[in-house]
Structure 1
Amino acid sequence: MCANYRPSTRDELQQRFGVAAPDSEYKAEAFPGYMAPMIRPPRTDSVPGDRACALGMFGMVPHWAEPKLARQTYNARTETVATKPSFRNAWKRRQFCVIPLHAFYEPSYETGKVERWEIAGAEGAPLGIAGLWDIKQEGPNGLPLLSFTMLTINADGHPLMQRFHKPDDEKRMLVILDPEQIDEWLHCPLEEAERFFVRYPAERLVAAAAPVGARKPAQGSLLDP
């Protein structure tokens, strides 16, 4: 599960993902309810290679839901994404997206107490996460609201990702795409989606403790009271 990450910078979006950065600014760290960049085809008739970047809420908000649902829908299990009410319509419509990030954070309990760790690409390049997007036409202030969720797979036994979360919890990890898979994922037929649901090699990731002081995740979020 991933509830906190560092979105790719504006320069990384252009240089690594080949998309123009959104017009609006976004926070250096994202929590559920924050606005962050996502990449998707610009039109339904787009061909591979056509990409556009927009800001969306981290946490899926389908048309029937209130934005506060984002606190529960920031990750989608690949095993149930096709049937869960929050995700199934976007899945059926093949509304695939990629979430560009520089690093993500997970909790470790190896010392006996919770400690935040940062996971990133071993070569320092940003990572592309497979996701889904949706739109609520009447969002906050009556404006359309784009939102997205990150897809996750089982990580029991993964040399790196099994180290995170509580000892008795199922281990999960994000679906991380290779750069050459980005356009393939964005235009993937539903019946072929499963081939992307594989564990990213541990040797291509690095992790280190990244403790922080107390945070107020709601700051900068559309979910502010």
Structure 2
Amino acid sequence: MCGRMTITHKVDAMARFAGAAPANDLPDGPRFNVCPTQAVGVVTSTEGSRLYRPMRWGFLPRWYKSPTDGPLLINARAETIAEKPAFREACRQRRCLVMATGFYEWTKDAEGKRLPWYIRPANGDPLVLAGIWQDWAAGEDSHTTFAVVTCPAGEGLSHIHHREPVSLAPEQFAMWLGEEGKGAARLMTAAPAGRFESFRVDPKVNSNRAEGPELIEPI
């Protein structure tokens, strides 16, 4: 799964990597502990024109009467995304690139204590995750929201968690965004071995209030 991420690449670098024009209201960085319900920059495509813009992390189905009317849907499982009423329309029509630098995952020790790991692309490139998005509104309250697509973990990350976010290489961006016709379902698989590096980090990141570059220092 994916429940916490970092965004430390600069906005212009992210936009260039995705071939997108940056919006003016993207959150400032660097950010070392991005949590659900916060704004994250994602890339959408309209008639082949890509825009890098902020969205709220936590997909809100249209039938929610408020942002807290049901579970916070931060992830969408690849195995059921095309069938779940909350996700199936967005999966077909509103896919996006979630732009990040890395993400956190947890294991447990023999006493049940949560041990955080930091995971990022081994080559230093931005981390680009497959996402789906949706506009939501109720009365005067409105949000543009997204969820990260997840799949069973591959050999590179299965020692940490049984699931991982679907990550995309640059040559896959156009297919996921719908710019190259059908076939996006084939991309919802685990990352190839060697794409990520992972290492233990300080448990202070267990708090969603923690922030700062020391959170991603290896221990």
Give the TM-score normalised by structure 2: 0.82
Aligned equivalents of 2:91, 2:181: Cα separation in 1: 8
The one-letter amino acid of 1:147's match is T
**Contact 1:138 1:145 (8 Å CA) reproduced:** no
Instruction: Quote how far apart the aligned CAs of 1:9 are.
Output: 3.1
What does residue 89 of structure 2 align with? Answer: 89
Instruction: Quote how far apart the aligned CAs of 1:208 are.
Output: 1.0
Distance 1:117 1:71, change over 3 A: farther
Q: How many residues are paired up?
A: 204
**Contact 2:175 2:183 (8 Å CA) reproduced:** no
Deviates more, 1:191-200 or 1:19-28: 19-28
The one-letter amino acid of 1:151's match is V
SS in 2 for 1:163: coil
Instruction: Quote how far apart the aligned CAs of 1:70 are.
Output: 8.2
What does residue 207 of structure 2 align with? Answer: 215
1:40 aligns with 2:44: yes
What does residue 14 of structure 2 align with? Answer: 13
- Runs of 4+ deviating beyond 6 Å: none
Aligned equivalents of 2:181, 2:157: Cα separation in 1: 27
The one-letter amino acid of 2:10's match is T
What does residue 202 of structure 1 align with? Answer: 193
What does residue 56 of structure 1 align with? Answer: 55
Mark the runs of 5 or more structure 1 residues left unpaired by the alignment. 166-170, 220-225
SS in 2 for 1:176: coil
Give the TM-score normalised by structure 1: 0.80
Over the residues paired in the alignment, what is the CA RMSD in angstroms? 2.6
Instruction: Quote how far apart the aligned CAs of 1:85 are.
Output: 2.7
Higher strand share: 2
Residues 138-149 of structure 1 correspond to what in structure 2 (within 5 A)?
Answer: 138=138, 142=140, 144-149=142-147
What does residue 77 of structure 2 align with? Answer: 77
Instruction: Quote how far apart the aligned CAs of 1:121 are.
Output: 0.5
What does residue 160 of structure 2 align with? Answer: 164
Query: What CA deviation, in whole Å up to 9, does each residue of 1:113-172 have, x standing for no partner?
Result: 321111001111112111100001347xx25311101111112xx33311224xxxxx11
Identity between Structure 1 and Structure 2 (%): 27
Distance 1:108 1:218, change over 3 A: closer
